[in-house]
Amino acid sequence: MPRFTYTARDRAGQPVASELEAPSRKDALRLLAARGLSIVAITETAAGAASKKGSPAKGAATPKTAKIIAPSAARQPPTRKECLPFLESLHDLATSGLSAGEAVRLLSVRIKEPRLRQLSAHLWSQISEGAPLSRAMASLPEVFDPSITNLIQAGEATGSLNDTLARLIAHLTEQREMRRQLAASLAYPVFMVVVAGGVVIFFLLFLLPRLKTLLTSLGGKMPASTSVLIGASEFALSFYGLAALILAIIGLVSFLGWRQTAAGRAATDQWLLGLPFVGPFLVSQTVLAFSQTLSVLLANGITAAEALRMTEKQIANTAHRAAFNTATARVLEGESLSGALQRTGCFPDLVLDRLAVGENTGNIVPSLRQIAASYQKTISNQLNTFTKVFASGVLLAVFVFVGFIAYAIVSAVFSVSASFKMGG
């Protein structure tokens, strides 16, 4: 029977190294998982490798399983959306006493959602061959961000995988709720813009041409306001109006394409920082991403240098990211984090003061968490303010436009009536 040499950690996080005999690698892993061990590495000895050559049937089973799973995974490939639900399910099983490998195996069998099941099956296919959870997750970069896999690796190395999963889930949940709040806050203004655009198109393309026909048939001189509206309607329906629309669409597509380039993204990100409402909101987003990510990484044992490099990737604005990159280089040269960030000019003074206090007292992680909690509230207030101002502006524009149309129509009616009286 094959013999396997393994290194693992028990439920207390203590390292264990030994050997065991099992019919196959998967059977060995199941036996170790049943003992409550979290596998770090497992290798088959020379005698086991020789005996394995005599049993081709078992060796062929794994490739067949992979061929069965692969088409389903191709039809429903897991995405970044499956990351948080998978980690939540894994944490629930791990806190019940199961090892990470056994928890993934159960998820691959029992979970109902197709993408999550395929994700778990892919991870288990690698874990069953001896790969640790972090390495298996790293093979799916489209689902698991590198910062997540590094955190899992640190949790495995320190024997605190459950605590790492809990912190990671809390961090990802906060990010998800922030995205939901942003989408919910923008839903009403976007709806108002669509309604206002529909009103404008209806009046210009349908109502005003009929009004012009009616007023022309009645005769009389039309007021200036009515002439302006009718002229706008005629331009919109003419060749020049259609050409202007096509040029506007081409310009928009070209601008969006240019923004996808490195130079375009850098220029537009810098320009956005100067806009009212948008600029302060982007600064708040940068502070929140920086404080949330760095606190989670440092709390889970990631080195300061590696944590800063990972945090840099989570900053969306390229101007802020470049400034943070420069600050990271200064920190690695020995400068304090608060001092290096102060030179960038991107972070508010109060944030820098709180960071400096955390550095001086040795409580940088609690300081970062407090900053993150504070800026979550700040972003929420900014979104509420932006929503109210934008919605009020759209409503005011719609009311002004509709009022102008009503005035133009009434003026035209009175003008036509006056011309009839003078003719009489």
Give the domain ranges of the chain.
3-144, 178-424
pLDDT at 283: 92
- Percent of the chain clearing pLDDT 70 (strictly above): 88
Lowest pLDDT segment from 29-43, 63-77, 176-190, 195-209: 63-77
Number of alpha carbons in the 13 Å side-chain half-sphere of residue 195:
14
β-bridge partners, 6: 18, 42
- Which conformational region is residue 36 in: left (phi greater than 0), alpha (psi within -120 to 50 degrees), or beta? left
Multiple choice CATH, 178-424, 3.40.50.720, 3.30.70.1050, 1.10.10.10, 1.20.81.30: 1.20.81.30
Q: How confident is the model at residue 421 (pLDDT cuts 50, 70, 90)?
A: low
Residue located via tokens 């984090």? 337
The average confidence (pLDDT) of the chain is 80
pLDDT at 73: 40
Q: Are 87 and 140 in contact (CB under 8 A)?
A: no
pLDDT at 251: 93
CA 143 → CA 84, 136, 137, 154, 348, distances in Å?
Answer: 10, 11, 8, 19, 33
- 266 by Cβ neighbours in 10 Å (0-12 / 13-18 / 19+) ranks as middle
Q: How many CB atoms lie within 10 A of CB 391?
A: 16
Q: How confident is the model at residue 422 (pLDDT cuts 50, 70, 90)?
A: low
How does pLDDT run across 311-363, given as a tens digit for each residue? 888 888 899 999 999 999 999 888 888 899 998 888 899 999 999 998 888 88
Inform me whether the pLDDT recorded for 76 exceeds 70.
Answer: no
Inform me whether the pLDDT recorded for 199 exceeds 60.
Answer: yes
Phi and psi at 3, nearest 5°, equal -115, 140
CA angle 57, 59, 60 (to 5 degrees): 65
- 362 by Cβ neighbours in 10 Å (0-12 / 13-18 / 19+) ranks as exposed
Q: Who has greater pLDDT, 13 or 257?
A: 257
Q: Who has greater pLDDT, 228 or 325?
A: 325
